[in-house]
Structure 1
Amino acid sequence: MTTTKSATVLGATGLVGKSLTQQLLNDERYHQITVLVRKPLSVSMFHDPLKKLVPVVIDFEQLQDYQGYFTVDHVYCCLGTTIKQAGSQKAFRRVDFEFVHVAAQLARAQRASGFVWISSVGADAKSSNFYLRVKGELENAILTMPQLKHAAAVRPSLLVGDREDVRTAEQLGIKVGKVIAPLMLGPLKKYRPIEAADVAQQMIGLQHF
């Protein structure tokens, strides 16, 4: 008899999170997908004929109070914002560093067998760029965390997909990136724009089954 897995997803309504959650629902290796969200999901957001999806509305400011939802095989963290959306560097760090770090700690405490999250190409704790510095600091904090099994980060470049929010600068970067992508070879290949669905697939591939 095949043993199926359970997973918890944070950030299931974002660009990568949506694709990831749907891929998990379609994956016969999983029998239950818990998604932690800020507000109730639209019934049309996901195709879930086997009723695997368990949406749970939580207060992310009190994420540590929901540790029971991390008693799963795999935890996927797709949380992320922009400085513009967050309103300040401090608010950005709260989401992109603190929330993700707490999620990793909860995954460790509940002995999840895998924790995968989204970082960024160019992440570097010593970077002069605030965004990349925060991403790098988070990688260092999680990857050196004792007793956290199979922690891994994906490091995408610009994400391609249908967003609800309009990010003008990012959209321009994607358009330019698509044009020059064929020229981005060797070490530059990692900077090519990437489909959100491909990032989600990479995340699943990093888990241990």
Structure 2
Amino acid sequence: MNLLLLGATGLVGRNVLAQALANPAVIRVIAPTRRPLEPHSKLTNPVSERLEALLSEEINRGIDGVVCCLGTTIKKAGSKEAFREVDYELPLKFARDAHQHGVETFVLVSASTASTSSAMFYSRIKGEVERDIGRVGFRSLTIARPSLIGGQRDEPRFMEHIALQLLRVLAPILPKKLQINPAETISAACLNAVMASDPGFYIRNAESLVAG
């Protein structure tokens, strides 16, 4: 399989990349990023500060499927407009470009709270990108909707850290949909979905992304 991976420097994206490179069924991973990744014989890593500048036929040539893990926070992005660019505009641009070049399988990492009718900006944008990628026309589309993601991030998120600690303590009594979704589990689900390429539209809710 030849895989296009978007968001390879993020928590889930890093795990997808590691699992894909270790999988003998994956022949090549193309991972466009803003900063260089560690070299690997199976990895092609176009680098640009503006990811949309990397959109091209070359990026999509021979690609069997796409896993999109692009995402940020409003605090890190600096504004709602910048957040929307990363979480909505870029995924949709790459989705449309891939489909135009014959790619029929797409996997999107979204959020458990995604809803086009949400009063919360973050959740509404997640809902809108789900909706509009769903309209692109992929033969196989899977959307993963994790809740709080467990794993080691590059940048500390204090409130998220506190929430994770609390959820770990309460895990034995919490319903699965409220439990931590480990990055490794989310990544495995995404990689399995893109490799299976089953026709249709699939949702992986948070309760199906709990470890074990």
SS in 2 for 1:154: strand
Please list the CA deviations of residues 149-195 of structure 1 after superposition, one character each: whole Å capped at 9, or x if unmatched.
Answer: 2121100111111111011111111111111222222xxx2221111
What count of residue pairs does the alignment treat as equivalent? Answer: 195
Residue 57 (str. 1) matches residue 47 (str. 2): yes
Asked whether the 8 Å contact 2:144–2:190 carries over to 1, the reply is: yes
**TM-score between both structures, scaled by the size of structure 1:** 0.88
Which residue of the partner structure matches residue 22 of structure 2?
Answer: 26
1:110 to partner: Cα distance = 1.3
SS in 1 for 2:35: coil
Tell me which amino acid in the other structure corresponds to 1:206: A
Residue 204 (str. 1) matches residue 195 (str. 2): no
Which residue of the partner structure matches residue 177 of structure 1?
Answer: 167
Which residue of the partner structure matches residue 88 of structure 1?
Answer: 79
**Unmatched runs of 5 consecutive residues or more in structure 2:** 198-212
1:64 to partner: Cα distance = 6.4
Which residue of the partner structure matches residue 4 of structure 2?
Answer: 8
Which residue of the partner structure matches residue 124 of structure 2?
Answer: 133
1:68 to partner: Cα distance = 2.4
Tell me which amino acid in the other structure corresponds to 2:122: Y
Give 1:77-116 correspondences, 5 Å limit: 77-116=68-107
Moved over 4 A (4+): none
Compared CA separation, residues 65 and 113, structure 1 to 2 (3 A)? closer
1:63 to partner: Cα distance = 4.1
1:127 to partner: Cα distance = 0.6
Aligned residue among 141, 160, 178 for 1:151: 141
1:10 to partner: Cα distance = 1.1
Compared CA separation, residues 58 and 67, structure 1 to 2 (3 A)? farther
Which residue of the partner structure matches residue 115 of structure 2?
Answer: 124
Asked whether the 8 Å contact 1:108–1:149 carries over to 2, the reply is: no
For residues 97 and 48 of structure 2, what CA distance do their matches in structure 1 show?
15
Identity across the alignment (%): 33
Deviates more, 1:156-165 or 1:53-62: 53-62
Residue 167 (str. 1) matches residue 157 (str. 2): yes
Tell me which amino acid in the other structure corresponds to 1:155: R
For residues 36 and 191 of structure 2, what CA distance do their matches in structure 1 show?
25
Cα-Cα RMSD: 1.5
Residue 74 (str. 1) matches residue 44 (str. 2): no
